[in-house]
């Protein structure tokens, strides 16, 4: 199949085109208005098999009282809105062509707190929750939706100060290729709604969520709300 790469980075897209023969498109995936053109480009490319919603930025502000609102909105847009818009625009296209897979990049910070960056943590928790919530209904239309949750990956998202701290602690970084391999692997899985943890030196593994405590009302001990209101587990 053919690769369609989408980014704001023109130079990076040029390398992708030259090295892999990919079709490329310059767009800001955090903007809702970008997605009709992206869907049209996917249709021109011959349809989709795998959609990887991979855009992400850190916030880096620990004190919420000092958080610039425009910075907050930008992080929310890149990390969460692009997954919402991507699922809305490309999910129906996948379903119409007979099925496929969508993998959203979350983070280990979508499963555990990252105290140094609470906004990043919030957006990645939201991505995990979104994926788990939409997965059952999208699976009914033949679209498998998953999230990957890497730890510290060797990409430009890690700033120099973080890199220095990790190096001093001899903490291993994850090769970005290992994350890409995990995306391909989970996209082919029969299960849906997985949050797959990627860590250095170990194979990808689905995170096991525990069901929260249920009610103790007599006659309804441990009950789960019915239908779409229920916890998918």
Task: Identify the three-state secondary structure at position 218.
Answer: coil
Residue 213 CB coordination number (10 Å): 7
Radius of gyration of the chain (CA): 19
Judged on CB neighbours under 10 Å (0-12, 13-18, 19+), 171 is exposed
- Of residues 6, 80, 102, 120, which has the active-site annotation? 120
Which spans in 21-117 are helix H? 35-44, 69-76, 82-96
Burial of 161 (0-12, 13-18, 19+ CB in 10 A): exposed
- Report in angstroms the alpha-carbon separations of 36 from 11, 22, 50, 154: 23, 20, 18, 32
Whether 120 is catalytic: yes
Q: For 164, list phi and psi in degrees, rounded to 5.
A: -65, -45
Instruction: Give 106's contacts (C-beta < 8 A, 6+ positions apart).
Output: 124, 127, 128, 131, 147, 148, 149, 195
Which residues are annotated as catalytic? 120
């Amino acid at each position: 199949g053919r690769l369609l790469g989408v980014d704001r980075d023109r130079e990076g897209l040029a390398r992708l085109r030259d090295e892999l023969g990919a079709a490329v498109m310059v767009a800001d995936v955090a903007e809702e208005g970008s997605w009709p053109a992206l869907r049209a480009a996917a249709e021109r490319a011959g349809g989709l098999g795998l959609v990887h919603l991979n855009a992400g930025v850190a916030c880096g502000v620990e004190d919420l009282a000092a958080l610039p609102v425009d910075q907050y909105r930008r992080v929310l847009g890149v990390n969460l809105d692009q997954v919402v818009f991507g699922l809305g625009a490309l999910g129906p296209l996948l379903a119409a062509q007979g099925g496929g897979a969508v993998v959203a990049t979350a983070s280990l910070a979508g499963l555990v707190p990252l105290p140094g960056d609470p906004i990043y943590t919030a957006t990645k928790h939201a991505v995990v929750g979104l994926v788990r919530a939409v997965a059952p209904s999208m699976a009914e239309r033949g679209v498998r939706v998953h999230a990957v949750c890497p730890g510290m990956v060797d990409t430009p998202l890690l700033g120099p100060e973080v890199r220095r701290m990790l190096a001093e602690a001899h903490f291993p970084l994850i090769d970005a290729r290992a994350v890409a391999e995990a995306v391909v692997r989970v996209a082919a899985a029969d299960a849906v709604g997985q949050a797959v943890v990627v860590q250095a030196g170990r194979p990808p593994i689905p995170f096991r969520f525990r069901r929260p405590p249920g009610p103790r009302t007599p006659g309804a001990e441990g009950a789960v709300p019915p239908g779409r209101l229920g916890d998918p587990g």
